Structure 1
Amino acid sequence: MLNPNLVILYVNDARRSTDFYTGLLDCVPVEATEHFALFALNPAFRFGVWSRSDVQPKVSGTQSSGGGEIAIPVADVAQVDALYADWSARQIAVAQVPVMMEFGYTFTVLDPDGHRLRIYAPSGAN
């Protein structure tokens, strides 16, 4: 079985996205250049941002931004509400206010390039 351990988002401005995710994740990148940043979120998972203009091979298609979603589970409904309050106070664009859905209690915000960040407490979490 394969075990993916890295997600990379193609972004319009890597420095802006690096600053955004540094503040949001409360984590500094382990590697950063003008066009790329890599965050080690835990020993088994890494997250990166890469300037769309610098990606090799070049990105094709008509989509210029967004188009992806990163889902982040949390322990309970209270943590969803606390993160929503914190991220809203930072004036991060909200795509979906906290709501109960089939899979759990969730909200969704957008990064500077329109990628979705979904926080959720799975169904059954208090």
Structure 2
Amino acid sequence: MFKPNSVIIYVKNIDISTDFYTKILKQNPIETYPEFAVFLLKDDFILGLQQADQITPRSPNYYGGFELSFSDVTKDKVDEIYSLWKKLNVKIELEPQMLDFGYTCVGNDPDGHRLRVCATDTSKFE
């Protein structure tokens, strides 16, 4: 069975993005290269950061069309992460609030990629 095991996002500045993700994930990358950094998100799943102007084949010139979702958290954890992001000056797109699918907030990384934290309410789907 085909199972994706990584997400790679293109960034304008690898150093700024690596520093940003180190702070919000509260962990260092497991590997770094001059134009690439790798973070272990969960078991066998990684987040890769790739300097956009150094990838082959060339990347598109569009940034920020991506959302990384952290949805295995509680409502209190959403508030805790939101508070951390505010202290780190993460650009907030959506303050914590209840939406149809759960309690959520959204921030942006330095390249405009969305970061959603969501305590998903699956009770109506059961």
Same fold (TM over 0.5): yes
Once superposed, which parts of structure 1, at least 4 consecutive aligned residues long, lie more than 3 Å away? none
Normalised by the length of structure 1, the TM-score is 0.91
Which AA in structure 2 matches 1:52?
A
SS of the residue aligned with 2:116?
strand
Identity of aligned residues (%): 37
Match of 1:19 in 2: 19
Counterpart-to-counterpart distance in 2, 1:83 and 1:97: 11
The residue aligned with 1:46 is 46
Q: Any idea what SS the aligned residue of 2:27 has?
A: coil
Aligned residues: 123
> What is the aligned counterpart of 2:108 among 107, 110, 117?
110
Cα deviation code 1:13-35 (max 9, x no counterpart)? 01110011011111111111221
Uncovered stretches (5+) of structure 2, i.e. residues with no partner = none
Output the CA distance in 1 between the equivalents of 2:21 and 2:86.
Answer: 15
Check the 8 A contact 1:74/1:80 in 2, yes or no.
no
1:81-96 equivalences in 2 (<5 Å)? 81-96=79-94
5+ long unaligned stretches in structure 1: none
How far 1:55 moved relative to its partner? 1.0
